[in-house]
Chains A and B, each alone.
Chain A
């Protein structure tokens, strides 16, 4: 029996972007309020899983032609690199730097190296979760 999933597929095309944008919002919200790289990454993973449910593994791989293992590696490098930056300034590992900058368009913005670390976490979460789902889903 061929299932008719037109509604699911059409909604997914819209909802995917809503979830993805929301995950980015959550990621930046983590700066001062609850949120951050981990939950943001999980939300993005959720969006991709929705794509996988609505379409199939091959379509999604075509649409998102990333090697998710490499993505995990890049994420780990970003996080480790940010934390290790402290070594070069001879302060304890994981010491972050932050300051307020006046940017065009944004006005006074507080920039923090912890955000780069969190971006790494984001990539690791997405990369490893999707790798797991792909390898389990690809088995059948």
Chain B
């Protein structure tokens, strides 16, 4: 089973292809999508266990020797991210059954999701920098379809912006990879790491580091490259927004974490200092946005920006606590953002508006929605023992160890802003005088609640079960802090 690490990529791809044959048969589409995601999830759990027991898994496609062929590498970090991606996709797909509508389902909605998951999992797993670009394109092209699907006026406007931004950043990505190749003469990520160590990171490599930060920064929406995100993400319907918000920016964040721990580790004083300054600014700008809006979607979307800042702040510390905190927080954020987007989707469905000022008194009619939203909100802010706490604690610990006192104070203070921004949603939507609600189907409300509740419960377990997760996180951190483990796994022969 040396191909095991490819299964979470191949299975969604296979099922996406099969779905192309059943364009009109919505029931068949749903069943096949569900089977595909569940099968990939099983494979990814199996992969997780294998990586835990046998260490980093690596394979070079086409039986070519390692630095020449395309390597795929699954270390603990990518196995964890792949598993989280598939878990999230499962719940979003179930949520879509009720909420997305037949029109979209008939026009390749599910194939697009599965192709996107193929791309996301591929980007998490690949060990070749050019192949990473290819998987970025796979997920981006699927996301272009998802953002424009439905053809509402707002979607068309925002998709032009989204496509433009991403085409520019993809072009820059290829240019940067070419630049890197011209310096080190290899595309295999493990080999690049070895070569950079040999030449001791001269100035040109630092320049490439900054260019890569710009490329991934556009995808991952760090300050000042986040300008496209709030508009574009607000356009598509909620399940798509949940997938985008929870997965796509995280691919950019993962790519930054990977390249900044594997390649550019010899001039930390410059590269990681920039990363840290930008992440602090990202947190600040996100906080301003999260408080500025009265629109449910915008508030949570700006919380994505804050989370990206927090994760990268942790990753920039380059010490054990900082990195493992970043990994903890990364996975926490994928789960909790998924949960929150699904919950606000239900709030928007029930009230028929996303404007906070027009809501009120939902607690009287939809109490479970309120309580689960509250739990998710506390989780997002990081109130112990919920899931955001451990990550932030470790990141702060790492930052204090590295002597970045002010940064960690800002990071911790941002938790209060996060809490305030989501509590405002709770207060406006659930307290106060009940407003007249549009007629909605109680049955679809209940059906949409199930996946949302499952996500919240999952994030609770993630917080409470931290103790059991620590061995996995330690493995993931070890590989990031000690690139030789990664390199040995790829170039072993």
- Which DSSP category, helix, strand, loop or mixed, fits chain A's interface? helix
The stretch among A13-21, A23-31, A38-46, A92-100 that forms the contact with chain B is A92-100
For the complex, give the distance between the alpha carbons of A87 and B62 in Å: 11
CB < 8 Å: which of A84, A87, A92 contacts B63? A92
Q: Which residues does chain B contribute within 8 Å of A70, judged by CB atoms? A: 20-21
Query: Inter-chain contact count A-B, CB under 8 Å?
Result: 45
- Residues of chain B with a CB closer than 8 A to A86's CB: 3
Q: Give bound CA distance, A80 to B398, whole Å.
A: 45
Complexed CA–CA distance, A84 and B61 (Å): 11
Q: Are B61 and A76 in contact (CB under 8 A)?
A: no
Q: What separation, in Å, do the CA atoms of A87 and B5 have in the docked complex? A: 11
> What are 15 A-B contacts with C-beta separation under 8 Å?
A70-B20, A70-B21, A73-B17, A73-B18, A76-B20, A77-B18, A80-B10, A84-B10, A90-B1, A92-B3, A92-B59, A93-B6, A93-B10, A94-B61, A94-B62
0/1 string, B1-34, CB within 8 A of A gives 1: 1110010001001100110110100000000000
Taking CB atoms, residues of chain A closer than 8 Å to B63 are 91-92, 95
Q: Is the CB of A72 within 8 A of B20?
A: yes
Q: Which residues of B contact A76 (CB under 8 A)?
A: 17, 20
Interchain CA distance A73-B6 in the complex, whole Å = 21
Q: Write the nearest CB–CB distance from A81 to chain B, whole angstroms.
A: 9
A73 to B18, CA, bound (A): 7
User: Which listed residue (A73, A90, A91, A94) contacts B20, Cβ 8 A?
Assistant: A73
Interface residues of A in 89-128 (CB under 8 A from B): 90-96
Task: Judge whether B10 and A92 touch: CB under 8 Å.
Answer: no
- Report the count of interface residues on A (CB-CB < 8 A): 17
Which of chain A's residues has its CB closest to B70's CB? A94
New A-B pairs, 18, CB < 8 Å, besides A72-B20, A84-B10: A69-B20, A70-B20, A76-B20, A80-B14, A80-B17, A84-B14, A87-B3, A91-B2, A92-B2, A92-B59, A92-B62, A92-B63, A93-B3, A93-B6, A93-B10, A93-B61, A93-B62, A95-B62
Chain B residues whose CB sits within 8 angstroms of the CB of A69 once the complex forms: 20, 23
- The CA of A96 and the CA of B63, in the complex, are separated in Å by 9
Measured CB to CB, the residues of B under 8 A from A are 1-3, 6, 10, 13-14, 17-18, 20-21, 23, 59-63
Tell me how far the C-beta of A69 lies from the nearest C-beta in chain B, rounded to whole angstroms: 6
Bound-complex Cα distance A94 to B6 (A): 11
CB < 8 Å: which of A77, A93, A96 contacts B59?
Answer: A93
Top-3 shortest CB links A-B: A73-B20, A94-B62, A94-B61
Complex alpha-carbon distance, A91 and B60, angstroms = 10
Q: How far is the CA of A90 from the CA of B59 in the complex (A)?
A: 12
Query: Closest chain B residue to A75 by CB distance?
Result: B17
Q: Most chain-B Cβ atoms within 10 A of its Cβ — which of A90, A92, A95?
A: A92
B1, B18, B63: residue with the most chain A Cβ atoms closer than 10 Å = B63
Q: Measured between alpha carbons, how far is A41 from B335 in the docked complex, in Å?
A: 42
With both chains docked as a complex, state the minimum distance between the C-beta of A131 and any C-beta of chain B, in angstroms.
Answer: 11
Query: CB-nearest residue of chain A relative to B7?
Result: A87
Q: Which residues of B contact A77 (CB under 8 A)?
A: 17-18
Complex Cα distance A95/B18, Å? Answer: 23
Could you tell me the distance in whole angstroms from the C-beta of A72 to the nearest C-beta in chain B? Answer: 7
CA of A92 to CA of B127 in the docked complex: distance in angstroms? 15
CB distance from A14 to the nearest CB of B (A): 34
Residue from the list B18, B20, B61 in contact with A92, Cβ < 8 A: B61
